Chains A and B, each alone.
Chain A
Amino acid sequence: MSALAPVSPRRRRTDLLARGLLAVGTLLALVPLVLVLYYVAKKGLGTWSWSFFTTDPTGNFLGSPGGIKSAILGTIEIVALATAIAVPLGIGVALYLVEYGRESRFAAVVRYFVDVMTGVPSIVFGLFIYITLILSGGVGGFAGWKGSLALALLMLPIVTRSAEVVLTLVPDSLREAALALGAPRWRVVGRIVLPTALPGLVTGSLLAIARAAGETAPLLFTSTLALATTLNLGTQMNSLPAVIFADVGQAQDRLVRVAWGAALTLVLMILVLTTLARLISRRSRFA
């Protein structure tokens, strides 16, 4: 009779079932995630204390194992140098691809290699630096900056890819408007494209940093381990992933506890970075 029929009971049931299945699936996916966080927090929190963050590892077989100060600072230094290399380079490559290379064959080749690099396991980057810069003996042995290089290689494709996406999102109408005002191309890039894309570029870079901060394999053969805090990237350096890797396999329970404490610290550092990235991308100009 009426053209506007009520929703049939069958559609209602199907809808309910589908929603239910999706909810259950989501919950299942969340279980391991929550369990990991819970375990790390439970095991790690117990080791946290003021001195845990303010003292270096002692390396003694007996007595206090010391804290993780050198590892925290080492991670920050190594990742900072890696960022200083990978972010400008990655954004530069993306700028080339979007603003100049576009559909050219060379740009296609670059894109392909960036894609391939994204899929390379992180340990390969570590090995590459190990073979070229450490075994070759030309520039000394293990050093923090070599760890930075390995991490930079890992970050480069992530930064490039994410920057390329955000730069492509900058509407062409803005570039045209600026060019039509008589601006040279490089000024259009510097004054219009980059500022418009800035929130997205920052977000992408932060995510790459977060990813690099947690990587263990590239550091094991490059910066390796150390006890003392050092600001010299030319020497061996401690880092959080390396400490976790080394200590968790120890027979002594007190060292394993250090590993859990370091793991919780690393998780929190990465959490802060990703949260920051989210906040900034939310303020971005394209929703």
Chain B
Amino acid sequence: MTDQPPTTSPRIAPRTPAAGLREVEAHGRSVTLRNLHAYYGDVHAVNGVWLEFPPNQVTAIIGPSGCGKSTLVRCINRMHEEVPGARAAGTVLLDEVDVYRDDVDVVSVRRLVGMVFQKPNPFPTMSVFDNVAAGLRLTGVRGGDLRDRVERSLRSAGLWEEVKDRLGRPGIGLSGGQQQRLCIARTLAVEPEVILMDEPCSALDPVATLKIEELIAGLRARYTIVIVTHNMQQAARVSDSTAFMLNGELVEHSPTEKLFTTPHDARTEEYVTGKFG
């Protein structure tokens, strides 16, 4: 495995372009935020956040509604700039490369940083198979064993056994929980190294939620995972460390157990004990 030195290659190339999902050496990249600010027009939604997401760990982001959690994660894969009038300032390092550098291709950032949304959003015109293959086709990847890659992604998302007999049926015909795992499979298929999840379980029932949480635990070996959640039990169950945000600022980032038992900051304590939010 040779790392491409980022200074000579501004395009962020995947570490191991040919590596399959099963290969052990494939692992996540670290994500580092340095003095990140994000705006929607005049609204200052993220205010000077410094934060590091270590590789192969699950980091949960919690905080009251509107505190900027979604905005923060959307800055990591540069989806924030798709909102008209929105802009970001500061640095987001993927290992060593700033994804906001002028010569970095936004497409290569998004291929390395996958995203799972709050509401399952499979493509309605596509079959289960095509949904998983969509990421590859949409980014113009040709050749390779598409079938094999789709199967591996579905297996990694824990969905293969449930859909292997109906790969040709519409993706929107699945249950909500299955749809969300289909979206995870779609994200995995393009072989990212970081996965952002913005409240991935908030539209799901407890059983489907549990499945996704188990899935996250398993994915951690190969990816860096950032999960936004409103559910503090969920954060406690799935994450290694937790970041607490308030009004666009990072209040505290600690190992999950510490944050929920003996937080540094009084505001964190108030929030996790349910005094506000």
Q: How far is the CB of A115 from chain B (nearest CB, A)?
A: 22
Q: Is A182's CB under 8 angstroms from B139's CB? A: yes
Cβ of A176 < 8 Å from any Cβ of B? Answer: yes
Cβ of B107 < 8 Å from any Cβ of A? Answer: yes
Q: Per-residue 0/1 for B65-98: is the Cβ within 8 Å of any A Cβ (1 yes, 0 no)?
A: 0000000000001010010100000000000000
Q: Size class of B's contact patch?
A: 20 to 34
Q: Is B119's CB under 8 angstroms from A182's CB? A: no
Cβ of B183 < 8 Å from any Cβ of A? Answer: yes
Q: Which of B124-175 contact A (CB under 8 A)?
A: 124-125, 134-135, 137-140
Q: Size class of A's contact patch?
A: 20 to 34
Cβ of A280 < 8 Å from any Cβ of B? Answer: no
Residues of A within 8 A of B124 (CB): 174, 196, 285
Residues of A within 8 A of B134 (CB): 178, 181, 191
Q: How many A-B residue pairs have CB under 8 A?
A: 72
Cβ of B115 < 8 Å from any Cβ of A? Answer: yes
Residue in contact with B79 in the complex, picked from A176, A183, A198, CB distance below 8 Å: A176
CA gap between A8 and B118 in the complex, in Å? 47
Q: Is B183's CB under 8 angstroms from A177's CB? A: yes
> Which of A181, A192, A198 gathers the greatest number of chain B CB atoms within 10 Å?
A181
Given contacts A181-B190, A182-B138, contact A285 B82 (CB under 8 A): no
CA gap between A184 and B123 in the complex, in Å? 16
CA gap between A188 and B119 in the complex, in Å? 19
Q: Is A177's CB under 8 angstroms from B123's CB? A: yes
Residues of A within 8 A of B82 (CB): 176, 179
CA gap between A269 and B77 in the complex, in Å? 52
Cβ of B108 < 8 Å from any Cβ of A? Answer: yes
Cβ of B9 < 8 Å from any Cβ of A? Answer: no
Q: How far is the CB of B150 from chain A (nearest CB, A)?
A: 14
CA gap between A133 and B183 in the complex, in Å? 55
Residue in contact with B107 in the complex, picked from A103, A182, A285, CB distance below 8 Å: A182
Cβ of A19 < 8 Å from any Cβ of B? Answer: no
Q: How far is the CB of A171 from chain B (nearest CB, A)?
A: 7
Q: Which residue of A lies closest to B119 (CB)?
A: A173
Q: Is A196's CB under 8 angstroms from B111's CB? A: no
Q: Is B77's CB under 8 angstroms from A196's CB? A: no
Q: Which residue of B lies closest to A194 (CB)?
A: B125
Residues of B within 8 A of A178 (CB): 123, 134, 138
Cβ of A102 < 8 Å from any Cβ of B? Answer: yes
Cβ of A20 < 8 Å from any Cβ of B? Answer: no
CA gap between A171 and B138 in the complex, in Å? 18
Q: Per-residue 0/1 for B176-218: is the Cβ within 8 Å of any A Cβ (1 yes, 0 no)?
A: 0000000100110010000000000000000000000000000
Cβ of A46 < 8 Å from any Cβ of B? Answer: no
Cβ of A140 < 8 Å from any Cβ of B? Answer: no
Q: Which of A166-218 contact B (CB under 8 A)?
A: 171, 173-174, 176-184, 187-188, 191-192, 195-196, 198
Cβ of B35 < 8 Å from any Cβ of A? Answer: no
Q: Which of A44-69 contact B (CB under 8 A)?
A: none
CA gap between A111 and B110 in the complex, in Å? 33
Residues of A within 8 A of B186 (CB): 177, 181
CA gap between A182 and B134 in the complex, in Å? 11
CA gap between A188 and B125 in the complex, in Å? 13
> Which of A174, A182, A188 gathers the greatest number of chain B CB atoms within 10 Å?
A182
Residues of B within 8 A of A180 (CB): 77, 79, 110, 114-115, 117, 187
Q: Is B114's CB under 8 angstroms from A181's CB? A: yes
Q: Which residue of A lies closest to B108 (CB)?
A: A182
Q: Which residue of B lies closest to A179 (CB)?
A: B82
Q: How far is the CB of A182 from chain B (nearest CB, A)?
A: 4
**A–B pairs, 17, beta carbons within 8 Å:** A171-B121, A173-B117, A173-B121, A176-B117, A177-B183, A178-B134, A178-B138, A180-B77, A181-B110, A181-B111, A181-B134, A181-B135, A182-B109, A191-B138, A192-B138, A195-B125, A196-B124
Q: State the B residues within 8 Å of A (CB).
A: 77, 79, 82, 84, 107-111, 114-115, 117, 119, 121, 123-125, 134-135, 137-140, 183, 186-187, 190
- Given A181-B138, A196-B125, 14 more pairs with CB closer than 8 A: A176-B79, A176-B121, A177-B183, A179-B110, A180-B79, A180-B115, A181-B187, A182-B110, A182-B190, A187-B140, A192-B125, A192-B138, A196-B123, A285-B124
> Which 6 residue pairs are nearest across A and B when measured between Cβ atoms?
A183-B138, A182-B110, A181-B135, A182-B111, A180-B115, A173-B121
